[in-house]
Amino acid sequence: MKNQINIKNKKARFEYHLIDRFVAGIVLTGTEIKSIRNNKASILEAYCVFDHGEVWIRNMHITAYENGSFYNHKPRSDRKLLLSKKEINKIEKFLKVKGNTIVPLKMFISEKGWAKLEIATAQGKKLHDKRQDLKDKDDKRDMDRAMKRF
Distance of CA 121 to the CA centre of its chain: 11
pTM: 0.79
- The pLDDT value recorded for residue 23 is 95
Distance of CA 100 to the CA centre of its chain: 16
For 89-145, how does the pLDDT look when each residue is reduced to its tens digit (9 = 90+)? Answer: 999 999 998 889 999 999 999 889 899 999 999 998 888 888 988 899 899 999 999
CATH class of segment(s) 7-125: mainly beta
For 52-86, how does the pLDDT look when each residue is reduced to its tens digit (9 = 90+)? Answer: 999 999 999 988 887 777 777 778 888 999 999 99
Q: Where are the beta strands (DSSP E) in the chain?
A: 7-8, 16-26, 41-42, 47-51, 54-58, 61-62, 79-82, 100-109, 115-124
Proportion of the chain above pLDDT 90, given as a percent: 44
For the chain, the 3-state helix, strand and coil shares in percent, each to the nearest 5, are: 30, 35, 35
